[in-house]
Chains A and B, each alone.
Chain A
Amino acid sequence: MQEQVTEKNNIITLEDLRPRREEKKTFSDYFMPRRHSGILFDPKKCTGCGTCEMVCSLRNVSKIAPASASIEVLRDEENGKNFAILCQHCRKPLCIEACPTRAIEKGEDGIVWINKLFCVECGLCIMACPEAAPLRDPITEEVNKCDLCEGDPLCVEYCPAGALTFTKGKKIRWIKGLRWSVQTISFLLLAVILVGTFCSLKAGALSLSCPAGILQNIASSGTIVLVWILSAFLILGLTILAGRFFCGWICPFGFFLDLVDKITPKKIGWPSFLKSRMAKYGILAGAVGGSCAFGFQAFCPVCPIGSICRSYGATGTLNGANLGIMAVLAGLEVGEWRVWCRYFCPVGALLALFAKIGLIKIVIGANQCKKFSCIQCAEVCPMGIIDADKLREGISPVIRMTECITCMRCIDRCPYGAAKLRFRWQKAVPGNIEL
């Protein structure tokens, strides 16, 4: 240690003394990710009694002194509103960045706390926090910040109105589990058990077909068979009912891309000149036009959904050419999540046309969204259609259902219940906030 210091010309930086803790993602973080622990506050229930301040100060300084609490109740007497300011235990806390002595730490349990051994009470954490949640005691000038009472918050326990609730630790998200199991089952069904069946399946009187394939069939043969349209209508009907539900929950290639994304969680970005979401409609039109000209289904031989269905042969062999298409498109995943689905998939384009007149929509209300810096919904969106900047400004983003694949990741992830599934005719996005 002594030698290391002399090599650096006797300058010891804070990096040597208190190195930052590196984030480690464990196995369970991928499969059962934590919902960040913290206290949720419901302004409708709060009566402004200040019990939380009292019990908090009792723990902080061993006396009833609301000024030295780590929670502050703001009372708007004119409008009869009460609001509690408390630390939200951000995932990427700005206070940790700003602290000059690195006294603020985020533990493995997700709790952000001030280590009083190193705190010099400079108050820069207050200046860096968008909510100004660390509070300065006006008498002793100590900076107090909620540390969740090390996992058992007193304010939650004593709140007489039940306005504060504590969420912690791992929580199995039921939508996530349901989606992954549906995706796995449909992948096994379509790609392994009933080989090559997504494109067309006949079981007695029942027949199912890919709608884009049917469109190419019609174009190439020049005839319309009623059975074809009926067989395509199952997926199209599902799309009108539930948006592009097929893409998010059933499509075997979408499932494959979701799996690839588990391997490449870091994205390097996608060139902006290829960022046109209209390209997929062009490919769809080209496929139909090509079928018309050549007299056979122009796109189906290279369709990734079809090739994933055909790659596993009925005799137990793997089809090399089809696997090649999959490998190339999986390589695109290092750019962005679900690149193929976002920009190119003609099947998705056809479904998007029907989702436009669909019955459901997803709304994210900026009023319910409690944080300036959370934006987890935009991070988990596989199609990247949630406008994080607008959300930060307090404007409810408009979610285009033509692009949304109804995977409901945003609904599952939001800790405040701001993302919701609504019918088309229900009241639109809750109002914006003027900042």
Chain B
Amino acid sequence: MTNGKDRIAEAKRSSGAYGCVECGKCVAVCPMAEMYTNFSIEMSPRGIIKKTLTGNDIILDENIWYCTECNAGTDVCPQGVSCRDLIRYLKEIAIEKYAVKDIKYCTRCGKQFLSIPVKNFVFGRLKEEPPNVLNILELCPSCRREMYMLRNA
């Protein structure tokens, strides 16, 4: 088992974070700006990459849990930095090393499938739906498909 710092260094290497030129294109296309009212430089992909390259406490930072792991930033990056991969690695390390509260577990199979801020956003958009539908949304997608099959097949 490699220690945390090595894992982070590997994450930085494999996602190409060292190549970041801080152009901010990823921030311009990031859907989080639309999703959260408290969107800030710390939450943006550029901020997270910068903090990863400079500081050490990135894993305990709650800002990485706001990311939806979409492809927008990776798509536009001129340097080929994959902010999605970087944040995904950071989340993996955080889940392995610490007991993380920011993650949503499936109520049926127990799999972790969504971070709490993203879940809050989805449920906030759907707050007019009846509670029965929202209960279904507590399940992970594969469980939902299975429930749908058990229900109808």
Give chain A interface residues in 112-126, CB to chain B under 8 Å: 120-124, 126
What is the CA–CA distance of A218 and B39 in the complex, to the nearest angstrom? 77
Q: Which residue of A lies closest to B148 (CB)?
A: A131
B122 touches A98 (CB 8 A): yes
- Contact of A141 with B by CB under 8 A: yes
Q: Which residues of A contact B125 (CB under 8 A)?
A: 97-98, 128
B141 touches A120 (CB 8 A): no
Q: Which residue of B lies closest to A102 (CB)?
A: B34
Segment at the B interface, from A79-87, A223-231, A310-318: A79-87
- Contact of A372 with B by CB under 8 A: yes
Give chain A interface residues in 347-394, CB to chain B under 8 Å: 367, 370, 372-373, 388-389, 392-394
A100 touches B34 (CB 8 A): yes
**CB contact under 8 A between A124 and B118, given known A14-B34, A74-B146, A81-B149:** yes
**CB contact under 8 A between A124 and B122, given known A74-B145, A85-B148, A100-B35:** yes
Q: Which residues of A contact B24 (CB under 8 A)?
A: none
- Contact of B130 with A by CB under 8 A: yes
**CB contact under 8 A between A121 and B70, given known A127-B137, A372-B136, A392-B130:** yes
Residue from B68, B132, B145, B153 in contact with A122 in the complex, judged by beta carbons closer than 8 Å: B68
Q: Which residues of A contact B94 (CB under 8 A)?
A: none
A132 touches B68 (CB 8 A): no
B145 touches A120 (CB 8 A): no
A94 touches B129 (CB 8 A): yes
A394 touches B151 (CB 8 A): yes
A interface residues, tally (CB under 8 Å) = 39
A120 touches B70 (CB 8 A): yes
**What mask results when residues 392 to 433 of chain A are scored 1 for a CB within 8 Å of chain B, else 0?**
111000000000000000000000000000000000000001
A373 touches B133 (CB 8 A): yes
Chain B interface size, under 10 / 10 to 19 / 20 to 34 / 35 or more: 35 or more
Q: Which residues of B contact A129 (CB under 8 A)?
A: 144
Give chain B interface residues in 111-153, CB to chain A under 8 Å: 114, 118-119, 121-122, 125-126, 129-130, 132-133, 136-137, 141-142, 144-153
**CB contact under 8 A between A128 and B126, given known A74-B145, A74-B146:** yes
- Contact of B95 with A by CB under 8 A: no
- Contact of A319 with B by CB under 8 A: no
A98 touches B126 (CB 8 A): yes
Residue from B29, B70, B148, B151 in contact with A123 in the complex, judged by beta carbons closer than 8 Å: B70
A128 touches B137 (CB 8 A): yes
- Contact of A162 with B by CB under 8 A: no
**CB contact under 8 A between A83 and B149, given known A120-B31, A122-B31, A392-B130:** yes
A85 touches B34 (CB 8 A): no
Give chain B interface residues in 7-21, CB to chain A under 8 Å: none
Q: Which residues of B contact A207 (CB under 8 A)?
A: none
B133 touches A372 (CB 8 A): yes
B132 touches A76 (CB 8 A): no
- Contact of B42 with A by CB under 8 A: no
What is the CA–CA distance of A392 and B114 in the complex, to the nearest angstrom? 24
Q: Which residues of B contact A100 (CB under 8 A)?
A: 31-32, 34-35, 68, 121
Residue from A13, A126, A370, A393 in contact with B152 in the complex, judged by beta carbons closer than 8 Å: A370
Q: Could you pull out 20 A-B pairs where Cβ atoms are within 8 angstroms?
A: A43-B152, A81-B153, A82-B153, A97-B126, A120-B75, A121-B72, A122-B68, A122-B69, A122-B72, A123-B70, A130-B137, A131-B148, A132-B144, A132-B148, A367-B151, A372-B133, A372-B148, A389-B130, A433-B150, A435-B147
Interface residues in chain A, defined as those with a beta carbon under 8 Å from any beta carbon in chain B = 13-14, 43, 72, 74, 76, 81-83, 85, 94, 97-98, 100-101, 120-124, 126-132, 141, 367, 370, 372-373, 388-389, 392-394, 433, 435
Given contacts A85-B148, A94-B129, 11 further A-B contacts (CB under 8 A): A98-B126, A122-B68, A122-B69, A124-B122, A127-B122, A130-B137, A130-B144, A132-B145, A372-B133, A373-B133, A392-B130
Interface residues in chain B, defined as those with a beta carbon under 8 Å from any beta carbon in chain A = 29, 31-32, 34-35, 68-72, 75, 114, 118-119, 121-122, 125-126, 129-130, 132-133, 136-137, 141-142, 144-153
